[in-house]
Structures are given as C-alpha cells and as structure tokens.
Amino acid sequence: MSKVRVAGFCVSLDGFGAGADQSLDNPLGVNGPDMFQWFFPTRFFCEMIGKGGGETGPDNDFGTRAMTGFGAFIMGRNMFGPVRGPWPDDSWKGWWGPNPPYHAPTFVLTHHPRPPIEMEGGTTFHFVADGIESALKQARAAAGTKDIKIAGGVATVKQYIQAGHVDEIHLAMAPVAIGRGEALFSGIDLRALGYKTVEHVPTARATHIVLAK
C-alpha cells in the first residue's frame, strides 16, 4: 500500500525548516542553504543538476531515497515560486527550469487557480485551489501504488502532519543554527500524533532521523 511521506526535509539545529525572507534571489531564505550542506555534495544532487562526480555514502543514500520512486508530489505555492496573489501571467513555471526533478504529477496548493503546466521529464504541475484534502485525493489517484511525497514548504508539511495524513517523516537535521525562519515543530506534538524514531543515522554533515507511526 502506498504511503504519504515527508523525505529529505532539512531542519536546522534551532528548529527551522526554511530561512527568513525568502525571495527570488534567495529562494531558501537567509542562511537557508546552510541546512542543505549534506545534500549538495552528493552524487545524486550532482547528477540531478547535470554535473559529474559527487560523494557516495549515507547522505547520498538518503538523498536518493528522498527524491526517487514517488508517484506524485504535493507542495505549497511558496515552494513553487515567489509570485504572490493572483497569477499575473503564465511565465513562472517553477525554480527548476524546463526539466524539474520530480518526474511525476506535482500538485501545488494555491488560492488562485491556474491551468496545469506540462514540463519535460514527466513533471506536470497541477494547481489545486480547494485545499489539502483535494490535493491528496488527486495525488493518490495519480500515484497509484507508489508513495506520495509532501515536498514542502514548512506550512504545507505541518498541515499534512497535523491532519494525520503523513505516514513517515525523514528529517535531515543540520548541525547549524540559522537564527530566524519558519519553525517546523511549533504547534506539532509528534509524540501525541504517534510518531516514533525508526531510523537514526548520523553523518559528518547531518543527522538523518526517520519517524513513522
């Protein structure tokens, strides 16, 4: 049976899942890239951006698991891009260029409807304006027997966790404090929601923790 998963979600030492002041020039927010230093050197990331080389090992293994084998993705509008309010036109098609890394139907939560965008490599962005339950229903239909990934950002991940829909959470805990940003754990009682640690792997750049019900 397919699962709903959060995977490869970076969290700082002080509990933030994104830096403050995200913008077109700073998509991960102030100090946000510091949380991804476990992922950027991996072979998987290097291949994803069209470069050779890269490191293997546990970080690469977790990075690969976090992005492959999913039948559908769900993300918030802020993760899709910096455009706010009604869409001014159809020019913004995401941060990732013509071939985004998802390669599966990807459902974007928004308050402003927009026609789907078919990209290279099998990614189609579908814009869902009627809530998280509708997006999950559509994602389940698209994913079939494959898992669904709640890709982010922080607000979207929290909504799906609080609604009881997330079966597994992989957090990549970075050994850095970023000072300000979007707090992942505020308002969430993981213990009360039934999550337990099922995997715990420290590396030089992160501590990978997998929680499951």
> What does the longest C-alpha to C-alpha distance in the chain come to?
45
**Residue among 198, 151, 204, 172 at smallest CA distance from 62:** 172
The whole-number pLDDT of residue 137 equals 98
Nearest alpha-carbon partner for 144 in 68, 74, 70: 70
The amino acid occupying position 67 is: M
Per-residue pLDDT of the chain (213 residues; tens, 9 = 90+): 799 999 999 999 999 999 999 888 888 999 999 999 999 999 999 999 999 899 999 999 999 999 999 999 999 999 999 999 999 999 999 999 999 999 999 999 999 999 999 999 999 999 999 999 999 999 999 999 999 999 999 999 999 999 999 999 999 999 999 999 999 999 999 999 999 999 999 999 999 999 999
CATH topology of domain 4-17+30-80+100-212: Dihydrofolate Reductase, subunit A (3.40.430)
